[in-house]
């Protein structure tokens, strides 16, 4: 019995040393990224609470901007796995950016199919930017590809209404393409 207790105690001590090394590695990583010293416990608390990590690691908007450029570039080069990982980091850094959540959804390997992760990311983007036509058009696209044509039509109408007052030619062009694809999908069913 004493041998079992001794083995269990040794195992627990090894696990604590591993946690300490992991915590130390996380702290070193953030220091090297210019984020200052970070307590791993504080980091985990921020993740659990949904709070953005940018304030905790003392990062600035320049870091986010550079990461966003790399993530966006990877997405457009069809390097979805790299883009998805970068957008995930951005979402952890700043939970209040609709662009990051939208990028996270678009870079998902299963996009435009519905998965709980894609759906949650799109919902976050819409909650954060309900008047952003690009977010709405991507939600419309997702609905359309998943057979929810009525929902797609409603979201498209809202996006088009928002676009009437703006001069975003790229978004208007995308809305026209989505409307055409939606009409084709309707007539083919």
Band (22; pLDDT cuts 50, 70, 90)? very low
Please write down the HEC assignment for all residues of the chain. Answer: CHHHHHHHHHHHHHHHHHHHHHHHHHHHHHHHCCCCCCCHHHHHHHHHHCCCCHHHHCCCHHHHHHHHHHHHHHHHCCCHHHHHHHHHHHHHHCCCCHHHHHHHHHCCCCCCCCCHHHHHHHHHHHHHCCCCHHHHHHHHHHHHHCCCHHHHHHHHHHHHHHHHCCCCHHHHHHHHHHHHHHHHHHHHC
Q: What is the mean pLDDT of the chain?
A: 80
Give the mean pLDDT of 128-156.
95
The rounded distance, in Å, linking the Cα atoms of 146 and 163 is: 24
Please tell me the total number of residues recorded for the chain in this structure: 189
Separation CA 45–CA 34 (nearest Å): 21
Q: How far is CA 161 from CA 102, 104, 165, 171, 178, in A?
A: 20, 26, 8, 12, 14
93: exposed, middle or buried (Cβ count in 10 Å: 0-12, 13-18, 19+): buried
Q: Does residue 151 have a pLDDT over 90?
A: yes
**pLDDT value at position 94?**
82
pLDDT one-digit tens code per residue, 111-137: 988 899 999 999 999 999 999 999 999
pTM of the model: 0.69
For residue range 155-169, what is the model confidence (pLDDT) as tens digits?
A: 999 999 999 988 889
> How far apart, in whole angstroms, are the C-alpha atoms of residue 186 and residue 180?
10
């Amino acid at each position: 019995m004493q041998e079992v207790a001794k083995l269990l105690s040794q195992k627990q001590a090894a696990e604590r040393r591993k946690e300490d090394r992991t915590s130390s590695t996380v702290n070193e990583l953030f220091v090297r990224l210019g984020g200052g010293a970070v307590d791993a416990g504080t980091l985990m608390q921020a993740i659990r609470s949904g709070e953005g990590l940018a304030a905790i690691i003392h990062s600035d908007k320049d870091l986010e901007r550079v990461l966003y450029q790399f993530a966006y570039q990877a997405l457009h080069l069809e390097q979805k796995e790299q883009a998805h990982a970068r957008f995930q980091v951005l979402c952890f850094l700043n939970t209040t950016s609709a662009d990051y959540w939208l990028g996270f959804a678009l870079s998902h390997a299963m996009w435009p199919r519905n998965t709980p992760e894609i759906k949650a990311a799109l919902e976050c983007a819409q909650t954060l930017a309900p008047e952003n036509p690009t977010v709405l058009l991507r939600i419309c696209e997702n609905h359309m590809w998943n057979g929810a044509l009525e929902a797609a039509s409603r979201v498209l109408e809202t996006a088009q209404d928002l676009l009437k007052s703006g001069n975003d030619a790229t978004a208007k062009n995308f809305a026209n393409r989505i409307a055409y694809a939606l009409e084709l999908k309707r007539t083919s069913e």
